Structure 1
C-alpha cells in the first residue's frame, strides 16, 4: 500500500493538495483513505459532498487520549490502589500537549492495515511534520534507556528486593506497558520508513517560501524521508497584461527556477491559481486537470519516459530515491585505513553542522534539526577521525580501533 504524506509551509494549501491528490487517485480507479488532523475540519469544507471510492476521516485526538489513559489506568489498578490514588473518569479528561501527534501516529499505523490502496495524510506545517515523523524513533530510544528490555530478566527478584528495601519495586505492568508501546511505535516507524511512504511538499512560490523549502529539504533528508513530488501551488497566469499580476508572476518564476536547482531529482507538479479558494470535487478535479510540470514514468518495457500525469504522478509503488536510500558506509581501508559513513544532506552548510560521537550513537545537528542515530555495527569498533561536507554530502571518517578489530597475520 502507498502512503503519501502532504506537508509544506503554513498557509500553502496543504489540505487542498491532499484532497486533490486523493481525488486524482480515485479518478484513476484506486481505493483511497484521506486522513486529516486539522481541528477546524477544513477538509470537509474543501471536499464538499462525499466522493465514491474515497474515505475521508478526521482524527479526534481528545477521544484517543481518553481511550489510552483510561486503558493505562485499568492496567495500573494495583499500583494506584497501593498509592491511594483516586481514579479518573473519562468525562473529566481533556487531552494534554502532544496528544494530537500521538493520535495521528496511531491513525497512520492503523491505516497501514486497511484494505485501501493509497493513504493520503494531511500533515501539519513542515517543521511540526518533521518532528512528528521523527517521534517514534525518539520515543523508542527513550524507552530503551529508561526501561532496558534486558533488565526485565530480573523481574523474578523484585518481590525479594521489595522486602529487603521496604518499598515496592516496579511492577510487571510497567514493563508490559513499555513493551506494548515499543511494539506500537515500531509499527508506526516501519510505516514511515517504508519505501512505499513518501512526502509531497506543497508551497506557494515566493521569497518567504524559498527559505522554508530549503529548510524542509534539509530536515527531510536528515530523517531519510523521501520526497516524491514538489507541488508549487497557486501559480498566477504568465504573460498577463496587468502590470501588478505580471510582476507577481515574474517573482514566482524566479522562485520556481531556484526550486528546480534545489530539487533536481524530484517531480514538479505546478497547480494554477483558480481565482478563488477551491471548494468541492469539481474544483479539485480542475486543479488536477490544469496542473503542469515534469515527471518520470516507468513503462511496462522498463523504459523511463517523461510526461504529465498531474497529481497522480508517483502514486504507484516508488523505488528508493536518493534521499530514501540507506546511509552508505564506504570501505577505504585499502587507501588510508578508514571507513567513511556517507550521509546525504542537500542544502547543508558547514556553519550549521554539528557532530558528536557518544558511545555507540552519533548526535547530528544540521540547522534547526537534530537527530541521534545508532552507529552501524562496523563503525562501533572505530574512532571518529574527521568529517567533511562536500556537494550536499557529509562524509564522516572512522579509523578502526586496533584493540577491537581482529588482527590479521
Structure 2
C-alpha cells in the first residue's frame, strides 16, 4: 500500500462527503491508474486530459515530457510570429533536449496544477507527489527560477523592453514575463495556507521517522502548511492467543516496534497530527477497496483522549501545524543603536546543519539539507547581521544598523 493508494483514498473520502475532487499525479511512475484499477486513454505525444471515473471524482496523470513538448511548440510559434531573426533556430531543437534543464518539467507540472486550482470545477485537488527528496526540489523550483530571472533580467528591464521599439525584445520580454507571472502564481499558491496543505506519508521504521522529522523542518523553512503525517502499513492489533508460536511472536514483536516508532514520531513532531493507516492485507485496488481504506484512515477516527491506544494518538495533536512567515520587530534601542530581530518558526532536527548567509537584500537560511532565500524587510536591508540563535523551534536573527547606509 503506497502513497498513491493513500492519495486515492483521501480523494475518495472527499468525494464521499459530496465535494468535487480532482486527483492529479505528478509522480512520473504513474501508478495512479494501477491504484484505481483504471487504464487511462492516452495518445503518445499528446498532453493527457482529465478523465471522470466516478460522479464528482476526476483524475489526470500529468506527463511532464508531453507537457514540455506542447509548451515548447507554443513558444516556437510565438517567437516565429515576430517575423525577425533571433540568432538561433528554435525549430532545430528537440524538446527532449530541454529535459536536462533543472526544474523545467517540475515547473510545468506545478503551473498545470495551479491552473486547475484557479478553475471552478473542483472543490478539492489531491496531488499525488513524487518521493520527498524529489518533491522538495519541485517545491523550491519557483523561488529558484524567479531569483535567477530577477538577477539576470530584472522586471523593470523587461518592462522597458516591452515598451521599446525592438519587436524581437518585445516578444521575448512578453514571453518571459508570462512565464514569470505563471511561476509567481505557483509560488503564491504553495505559500497560501488557506488553500494548500501537505500530508506526509511515512513508514513505522526508524529511518523513516528520522526523515519525517527532517521533512517537517523543511516544510517550516519553505513556508508550507503541514497538515498531518500518515504512518503507512501499521500491523493491526490481534489477540495474543497462541503467542507462543514463532510466527505469532514475530507479529506481536513487530507491531510493538511499530508502535514505539509511532510514539517516537509523535514526540519528535509535537503539534502535528500523526494518523495511522493500518496494513490492509491485500493491496486495495479500485474505488470500493479505496473507499474502505479511506474510512480506516479518516483522521477523525484517529483522534482519541490521552492514554488511549498509542496507534491513535491524543487530542492535543489534532490541529494543523502552520509554518508562519518571518516576523520583524524592534527589540531595543533607537537609531544607530537599534537592535532588530527576525523570527521564524524552524523546528531544526540537527542544529549543526543551520547555515545563514546574506546576498544583497536577501537572507539565506539553510537547515537539514534545505535552503531558502528570504527577502529582507526594508528596515533590515540597511542593517548587518549581528547574531543568530535557536530558541526552541524559533530561529532568531538579530540585526544592527549599518552606519554607512543608515539614514541620519
TM superposition score normalised by structure 1: 0.81
2:37 paired with 1:37? no
State the Cα distance separating 1:344 from its structure 2 match.
Answer: 1.6
State the Cα distance separating 1:323 from its structure 2 match.
Answer: 3.3
Q: What is the CA–CA distance in structure 1 between the aligned matches of 2:179 and 2:20, rounded to whole Å?
A: 30
Note if contact 1:200-1:229 (Cα within 8 Å) is conserved in structure 2: yes
Q: What is the CA–CA distance in structure 2 between the aligned matches of 1:232 and 1:18, rounded to whole Å?
A: 13
Equivalent in the alignment of 1:337: 338
Equivalent in the alignment of 2:91: 87
Which aligned pairs between 1:143-158 and structure 2 lie closer than 5 A? 143-152=149-158, 154-155=160-161
What SS is found at the alignment partner of 2:14? Answer: helix
State the Cα distance separating 1:367 from its structure 2 match.
Answer: 2.4
2:145 paired with 1:139? yes
Number of matched residues?
368
Note if contact 2:344-2:394 (Cα within 8 Å) is conserved in structure 1: yes
Note if contact 2:363-2:376 (Cα within 8 Å) is conserved in structure 1: yes
Structure 1 moving runs of 4+ over 4 Å = 156-159, 292-297, 402-407
What residue ranges of structure 2 are gaps of 5+ in the alignment? Answer: 39-52, 309-317
Q: In structure 2, do the counterparts of structure 1 residues 185 and 394 end up closer, same or farther at CA, with 3 Å as the change threshold? A: same
What residue ranges of structure 1 are gaps of 5+ in the alignment? Answer: 1-11, 160-167, 298-304, 308-317
Equivalent in the alignment of 1:210: 209
State the Cα distance separating 1:174 from its structure 2 match.
Answer: 1.9
Equivalent in the alignment of 2:118: 113
Equivalent in the alignment of 2:276: 270
Q: In structure 2, do the counterparts of structure 1 residues 172 and 254 end up closer, same or farther at CA, with 3 Å as the change threshold? A: same
1:102-121 superposed Cα distances (whole Å, 9 cap, x missing partner): 23212211111222100100
Q: Which has the higher contact order (CA 8 A, sep 6+)?
A: 1
Q: What is the CA–CA distance in structure 1 between the aligned matches of 2:83 and 2:28, rounded to whole Å?
A: 35
Q: What is the CA–CA distance in structure 1 between the aligned matches of 2:406 and 2:16, rounded to whole Å?
A: 58
RMSD (Å), alpha carbons: 3.0
Q: Which moved more, 1:27-36 or 1:388-397?
A: 388-397
State the Cα distance separating 1:405 from its structure 2 match.
Answer: 4.5
What SS is found at the alignment partner of 1:29? Answer: coil
State the Cα distance separating 1:398 from its structure 2 match.
Answer: 0.6
Q: Which moved more, 1:368-377 or 1:32-41?
A: 32-41
State the Cα distance separating 1:217 from its structure 2 match.
Answer: 1.1
Q: In structure 2, do the counterparts of structure 1 residues 158 and 13 end up closer, same or farther at CA, with 3 Å as the change threshold? A: same
TM superposition score normalised by structure 2: 0.82
State the Cα distance separating 1:153 from its structure 2 match.
Answer: 5.8
Note if contact 1:199-1:229 (Cα within 8 Å) is conserved in structure 2: yes
